[in-house]
Amino acid sequence: MKIAYISTYPPRECGIGTFTMNLYKSMVMNNEKSKDPIEGFIVAMNDHEQTFNYPEEVKLTIRQEHQRDYLEAVKFINLSGADICVLEHEFGIFGGQNGIYILPLLHRLEIPLIVTLHTIVKTPSYNEKAVLQEICKMAYKVIVMSHKAIEFLTSIYDVDKGKIVFIEHGVPDIQFNQEQSKKEFKLENKKLLLTFGIISRNKGIETVIKALPKVIEKHPDILYIVLGKTHPNVIRHSGEEYRNYLQRLIKSLNLGNHVIFINEFIKQKELFKYLSASDIYITPYLNEAQITSGTLSYAVGVGSAVVSTPYWHALELLADGRGRLFNFNDSEKLSMILLELLDKPEVLKNLRKKACDYGKTITWPKSGSKYVALAGKILAAKPKVLVKKETLVDPLILPPFSLDHIKRLTDDTGIIQHAKFGIPNLKEGYCLDDNARALLMVLMAYRQKKDEFALNLAPIYLSYIHYMQNKDGTFRNFLSFSRNFLDEIGSEDSFGRTIWALGYLLANAPNDAYYQTGKLVFFNASPNFEKLQSIRGIANSMLGISYYLRSNPSDIAMTERLRNLAGKLIKHYEENSSNSWKWFEPLLAYDNGILPLALLHSAEILNDDRITKIALETLNFLTGITLKDGYLSIIGNEKWYKKECERSIFAQQPVDALAMVLMYHQAFHLTKDKDYLNKLFSCFMWFLGENDLRMSLFDFETKGCCDGFESYGVNRNQGAESSLAYLISHLIVLQAYEEYEEIDLIK
């Protein structure tokens, strides 16, 4: 038997990783010398862009927010000779909304799947429920570690009870003498209370601290150790705010000599020494929503006297006298229990014995053997595995997403407008259009991929936009490299693109400072919305307003502004369209897809069938001209395409391909018609050679995009507009692929 495991894994500091390491050792390493040895390997989940020095059993890694890594991983597993796959599931370790990126991998898995569920939400969101149901549907067996989990899966998630297997959380078979452990830590004269695990607000450590003064009055030799690092997501969003709060609480209660924080993620052997040294182990979690607790299992496994709040796993594991319970946030009750146990050594001893006796039944060798038996039973049944067919939208054929060229073009003022080949052309300076596009791109990259470098670029582009705004809310466009203004007021196109980027920011702000700055600039500009005459300026502004209204739907005045701008576009359509020419102008010029795109967005916000009808009519008209041969043939800007005249083939530019990608993406979003995703992907492939010249515009060396192509070939300069058009299109393809999977998920 050969087993592939998908999970986090040490040295990444994660409880699920430690679980998987123990499971791997109990299934694989403990069976290496048996008559039928078991092989295995790990596919490890990396946290964002972090890398780790993994042990040899880790054969492949997946970066959490990189979709192509998941697809490469499933190809690796399918070709590895593995007989069965074991997935350790917790929503937060996989990428995409509610960990949806794991689904494409599982859909393509050609071997039976076992899933261990570490988190099961009692009141899931729509997406959480859909994702977990789909995973359980694809799994041959679903392993849970509490009976409450079985109840939830059957009653809330409609999982067939016959598919669910109960195997308790394993405990390492490690034992230390209490006296010897205390002596090693120089705690011989202390009564040791212990809490360990990843630290975050929901752990309720303040409940224990508030309970200590009464206990210390009678037992001044009490020492409470809190062992563990702050959760990395907490650090990322609020730093050590919780730990600092606890330190202030300790100081206010004069407990400095009785509470110690050990801010480490310690190794398993050292942890068990602390557990053995402790007199009482406490889990003071603040609510019941904990279906599995590895820390609690470990404490019971080594025979600790456990005192806990009544969360779901604790209610089961500490039943029959194996521990004591107190209510959430109830420091008074905790004080009483601690005093009783410390005052009556025989009660404490009995509690430890019951826990120890039970702990012997849940050691990892025993749990591992249950996994092995289950896997063998599954393989003996020779189950058929249904593999999902590939879709045209395939992220695997995309080059890796890279901001290298954008980094090259960006300085502390903004993004340089032009480039000579892949080198920034400083002589041309900066423009508002490109800094607006750059802001849009990095916000998308951070939202989808949690790319910290992208987030670091955002304030540069946002500050450029702010700097270029005039007192009347309009914007200058051009700035020289020496930071001299080159115009008094920019084009309506550049105004509209800026509103688009600002609206997206207001709907997807990574923090409040960005939101407040974006809001200030957006509303300073808003009195100019009604003055717009250029249909592309109008369309781009409509996009920004639509994004703003998605997060501020009650803004009636802005909704009416959107309706008025949509009316202007429709008026242009009515004045210029005919039975054979379904368009807004008597010609197809540049950035054409942006016009139907704006109506598609506003149709979603305004729920107006007439707007939807015109949006789809113009989309279909543009499709018939530019996609008629199965690939995107952009209207060239040499002569464009005037009504009843011959269309221009050259020069084709990336910004037009971007508009088509965005147009089809929003059409899919509005209609759920998958054919639009296929068209979207065809348009994206224009960048990679599916075009009139059959030449790629993406430069695999510089990671930039060429400025387009002429009749003679590719224009090798790689300015900001072209590279940003490529990168935004790339991100849209990744998002579309995720949404394609979601549609199948809903069905």
pLDDT digits (tens, 9 = 90+) for 251-286: 999 999 999 999 887 888 888 899 999 999 999 999
CB atoms within 10 A of CB 365: 14
- Provide the residue count of the chain: 747
| Mean pLDDT of all residues in 665-687 | 92
pLDDT on residue 229: 86
Nearest to 711 by CA among 654, 656, 652, 658: 652
Distances (CA, A) of 539 to 385, 547, 652: 48, 13, 21
Residue type, 239: G
Q: Are the C-beta atoms of 357 and 364 separated by less than 8 Å?
A: no
pLDDT recorded at residue 549: 96
Task: Cis check for the bond before 11: say yes or no (omega within 30 of 0).
Answer: yes
State the pLDDT at residue 62. 95
Per-residue model confidence (pLDDT) at position 301: 87
Distance from C-alpha of 744 to C-alpha of 740, rounded to nearest angstrom: 7
Q: Collapsing DSSP states into helix, strand and coil, what is residue 736?
A: helix
Q: Do domains 2-170 and 178-362 have the same CATH topology?
A: yes
Nearest to 541 by CA among 525, 555, 556: 525
Report which listed range, 70-74, 99-103, 222-226, 395-399, is most confident: 222-226
Residue 623 pLDDT greater than 90, yes or no: yes
Residues 6+ apart with CB under 8 A from 396: 68, 71, 72
Residue 390 has pLDDT above 60, yes or no: no
Give residue 34's pLDDT: 67
Q: How far apart are CA 652 and CA 636, in angstroms?
A: 5
Contact predicate 633/624, CB 8 Å: no
How many CA atoms are closer than 13 Å to the CA of 623, on its beta-carbon side? 19
CB 433 within 8 A of CB 721: yes
As a dihedral over the C-alpha atoms of residue 631, residue 635, residue 641, residue 645, rounded to 10 degrees, the angle is -40
- Residue 61 tokens, joined: 């890694």
CATH topology of domain 178-362: Rossmann fold (3.40.50)
Distance CA 736, CA 665 (A): 7
- In the block, tokens 């543009």 appear at 622
Task: With a cut of 70, say whether residue 741 has pLDDT above it.
Answer: no
Phi, psi of 483 (to 5 degrees): 65, 35
User: The tokens of 1 are what?
Assistant: 């038997």
Token pair, residue 352, equals 């430890």
> What are the respective helix, strand and coil percentages of the chain, to the nearest 5?
50, 15, 35
Q: Which three-class secondary structure state does DSSP give residue 653?
A: coil
Candidate from 135-149, 226-240, 469-483, 709-723 with smallest mean pLDDT: 226-240
Mean pLDDT of 30-40: 77
Report d(CA 475, CA 485) in Å as an integer: 11
Q: How far is 62 from 661, CA to CA, in rounded Å? A: 27
Q: Quickly state the pLDDT bin for 97 (edges 50, 70, 90).
A: confident
Compute CA distances 117 → 64, 284, 443, whole Å: 18, 23, 33
Q: Is the pLDDT of residue 164 over 90?
A: yes
Instruction: Tokens for 148, please give them.
Output: 């409450």
pLDDT in tens, 428-475: 999 999 999 999 999 999 998 888 899 999 999 999 999 999 999 999
Q: Which parts of 694-736 are beta strand (E)? A: 708-710, 713-715
Token readout for 645 is 């005249």
Using a 10 angstrom Cβ sphere, with 0-12 exposed, 13-18 middle and 19 or more buried, the burial of residue 240 is middle
Answer left, alpha or beta for residue 320, where phi above 0 means left and psi between -120 and 50 means alpha: left
707 backbone dihedrals φ, ψ, rounded to 5°: -75, 5
Q: Assign 617 a pLDDT band (cuts: 50, 70, 90).
A: very high
In whole angstroms, how large is the CA radius of gyration of the chain?
A: 30
The answer to whether the bond into 651 is cis (omega within 30° of 0) is: yes
The pLDDT of residue 723: 97
Residue 609 DSSP class: H
What's the confidence (pLDDT) of residue 536? 96
Alpha-carbon separation of residue 166 from 5, 115, 143, 152, 368 (angstroms): 19, 12, 6, 13, 13
- In this predicted model, what pLDDT tens digit does every residue of 595-614 receive, in sequence order? 999 999 999 999 999 999 99
Domain residue limits, the chain:
2-170, 178-362, 403-531
Q: Which range among 59-68, 471-480, 493-502, 561-570 shows the weakest confidence by mean pLDDT?
A: 59-68
Token pair recorded at residue 21:
């390491």
- Among all chains, which residue has been given the structure tokens 């090693």? 184
743: pLDDT strictly greater than 70: no
Contacts made by residues 250-254, CB under 8 angstroms, sequence distance 24+: 250/209, 253/209, 253/210, 253/212, 253/213
pLDDT at res. 389:
53
Give start and end residues of each alpha helix (H) in 410-509.
432-449, 452-467, 492-507
- pLDDT tens-digit map of 109-152: 999 999 999 999 999 887 788 889 989 999 999 999 999 999 99
CB 41 within 8 A of CB 80: yes
Give start and end residues of each alpha helix (H) in 139-177.
147-155
Q: Please tell me the class of the 2-170 domain.
A: alpha beta
pLDDT (tens digit per residue) in 403-428: 999 999 999 999 999 999 999 999 99
Q: Is 395 helix (H, G, I), strand (E, B) or coil?
A: helix
Tokens of 39: 């092989």
pLDDT at 289: 86
Element (H, E) at 224: strand 222-227
Question: Which class is domain 403-531?
Answer: mainly alpha
Judge contact between 27 and 3, C-beta under 8 A. Answer: yes
The yes-or-no verdict on residue 393 having pLDDT over 90 is no
Residue type, 679: K
> What pLDDT, on a 0 to 100 scale, did the predictor assign at position 742?
64
Residue 569, CA atoms < 13 Å, CB-side half-sphere: 33
Is the Cβ–Cβ distance between 364 and 25 less than 8 Å? yes
- N-term to C-term CA, the chain: 34
Q: What is the pLDDT of residue 323?
A: 94
**CB-count burial class (<10 Å; 0-12, 13-18, 19+) for 338:** buried
Answer whether 303's CB lies under 8 Å from 353's CB: yes
The Cα–Cα gap between 177 and 266 comes to: 19
Tens-place pLDDT, residues 44-75: 999 866 789 999 999 999 998 887 789 899 99
Cα–Cα distance between 446 and 30 in angstroms, integer? 43
Share of the chain above pLDDT 70, in %: 96
Q: Is the pLDDT of residue 100 over 90?
A: no
DSSP string, 498-550: HHHHHHHHHHS-SSHHHHHHHHHHHHHHGGGGGG---HHHHHHHHHHHHHHHH
pLDDT value for 216: 96
pLDDT at 383: 85
How high does pLDDT run on average in the chain? Answer: 91
